[in-house]
Each structure stands twice: as C-alpha cells, then as structure tokens.
Amino acid sequence: AGVTTYTDIPDLGGLTSRVNYGAGDINAQAYVEDETFDNSAIVIGLYMVGNTNGIIGGFRNNIIRQLGQWIKDADRPVFLRIGYEFDGPWNSYAPADYIAAYQQIVHIMDEEEVTNIAYVWQSAGINTSNISRWYPGDEYVNWVGYSFFDGGNPGQSIRNFAEEHNKPIMIAEATPRMDLKTVNADAAIRGWFSPLFTQIDGNDNIKALSYINVDWDSQTMWQGQGWGDSRVEVNEGVQEYWLNRTNQDEWLKASPTLFEDLKYSLWRDSLIENKVTGIEDFIEESAPYKLTMELGQPILQAVNGSLDQLEIYSPEGKRLYFTNEPRTRYLLPEVIRNRPIIIRALHGNAVHVHKHLISVSNE
C-alpha cells in the first residue's frame, strides 16, 4: 500500500533526484513518476539532526516550503516522520529544540495549505523514560510511530503513550538483525517475525507497518554491523510466512480505492485544536521573564532562575509552542513573529500568564 523514502533538512537530498549516502539509492520523485506506485502512499523520514536551531530560527523556512510543495504535487497520502527516532541517543535531539522545530515545520505546512499529509512522531522504540519530554502536542501529531529491530517487546512505552493520547500507531521501521539467506526459517520466524505479528495482533492501535526489505551487507554504511540480509524473498520459509500474514484482509493494498479508504483529505481536519478557555480573563501585568531580540531572533530570558514549563498561544487560544524542559533562556520559533501572543510560564509553584499586545517582530 505504500513505500518509504528519506530526505533531510537543509538539503532535501533524495527528494527530487537520486542520492546515495552509502545506504542505497534514495529518490522520492522516482516513486511519483513510476506508474507502478500510482496507487501507493509515501512515507518520508525527515532527518534534521544538527538543524533544529536553523528551523526554529526561520532559516530553513524556504526549504520546508519546497518540501510542502513537493508533497502537494505528489497528490497522494504522505506520512511525514519528522525527526524520526527523536529519542535515540545517536540523534542527540534536545527535547525543547526538537519540539520547537517539529512545530515550526507543521505551522509552515499549514501556511502552505498542505492537506495530503499526516505527521508521524516516531520513537526509536527503546522504551525511553519520560518520553513526553519530546512530545510536540496532540494538535501536531496524527500518528505515533516506533522502530522494531531486535525482537522481544520494543516500543512498550510509546504504545502506552499512543493509547493515552488516542493516536494510531505506525511501526515505522522494522527489520530483523539476521541474515535470511543463511538462517533457518523456523528460527527466524520464532525469533523475530512471529513476535512482530504477535505485537500487531495484540494491539488494535497498530494500524501501519513499514518493513525494511534490503540486503544491508551490500550497503557500505551498514557493512560489518550484523544487520545481514533482511529480504524475505531470499528465504522460502520466511517468504511464505510473510505472504500468509500480509495477504489477510485487514491489510490494505495498493489499489484505486486506497486513497479513499485512507480518507487522507480529512487528516488535517481531524487534528485536535488545543483551545484554552478563559485565558483572556487570566492575564498578569508582570512576568518572570523578559523578551529580547538578538540578531533578529526572538529570545525569552528568565529573570529569576529557570522556568519549569513554557507555552505560547495565539489570542484565540491555539497553542503555538510548548516545552516542559527547564531553561533560563529560550530561542523562540519563527511562528510567533508579527502576531500578538500569550505566554503561559510555570515558575516554581506559580503559573504566570502574560499577554503581549505588541507582536514580537524583526523591527
């Protein structure tokens, strides 16, 4: 029913032309132009390591708009995995920066009226504690995702989180660490494939699966790391098991009715609007912070220790920014420029709400 590809900020590598970083060819446009995939959805992993500050500061806005235009032109359901595996230590995403960058991308997509898109918040599936530290908010997330690599029961914490927030789940990356060319089929099924489908069967919230079907050892990036060859077609017993499971009626297939079945034109309309009631009646004239501009960038500086939580809303009550990571200094997102804002700050045991009648701008 779909195909997964990757691109990055700031280069959008592999979006409109072929690139190869050592893990196989990447070319999203090729899928759009190949009639074989006319009735298929596209999943895009958006890599943004090292670029969160550039995104927050608005320096990548044009790049994000280019990505949005490509998604619109693709004219099919697109699942965007923003900063996938956000909690993986190898990515080093600071929670507050990740949230602000994620939100900035969604806001720009909204400004560009990209409607054939669903946003996937994807964990590494390593059962990270306090995973909510990276959560951008219900109104920014359509799907919750995680990776399934080593068998067993990965992703328990993220599945619990998805259930609490009433979000469907995508197993966004799945592959066994074994060489299917040489391993016994029964051992492979018992050790990895059966646990995968047992997890899916046991959780009604899991609605999508993306399997990485590739010869890892043929790719220079992954050689010698023990990934092997995960192509199901190289092992007759595994292939038979896989086809028996995925040919069941509950799995959607590429078809002329797939897009209608997914109701993708309604995805953005289904996002929860985070409204704040009564906020206009609860405004203070003083606040435990000050707003400044540094090199055209809005900065919020705590004036007495750190803030424990920071939220920014529009006057209508739509949340524009959120972080619960204690800080003394915040680099604020581009989306708050040139508009009235309401800041809600948690400082110690007190909640402070302050309305800024003058927009934060470049002037």
Both structure tokens of 118:
């669903």
User: Is residue 309's pLDDT more than 80?
Assistant: yes
103: nearest Cα among 329, 344, 313: 313
Confidence at residue 163, expressed as pLDDT on a 0 to 100 scale: 93
Both structure tokens of 132:
């909510």
- Top CATH class of 2-270 equals alpha beta
Express each pLDDT in 9-38 by its tens digit: 999 999 999 999 999 999 999 999 999 999
What is the side-by-side order of every strand in the sheet holding 41-47? 2-8, 41-47, 78-82, 117-123, 143-148, 169-174, 206-211
Cα angle 85, 86, 88; round to 5: 65
User: Is residue 259's pLDDT more than 90?
Assistant: no
Confidence at residue 297, expressed as pLDDT on a 0 to 100 scale: 74
Tell me which of 3.20.20.70, 3.30.465.10, 2.60.40.10, 3.40.50.720 is the CATH number of domain 279-356: 2.60.40.10
> Where in the chain are the domains?
2-270, 279-356
CB count in 10 Å sphere of residue 251: 11
Stretch among 41-55, 217-231, 340-354 having the lowest mean pLDDT? 340-354
d(CA 198, CA 216): 25
pLDDT band at 316 (very low <50, low <70, confident <90, very high): low
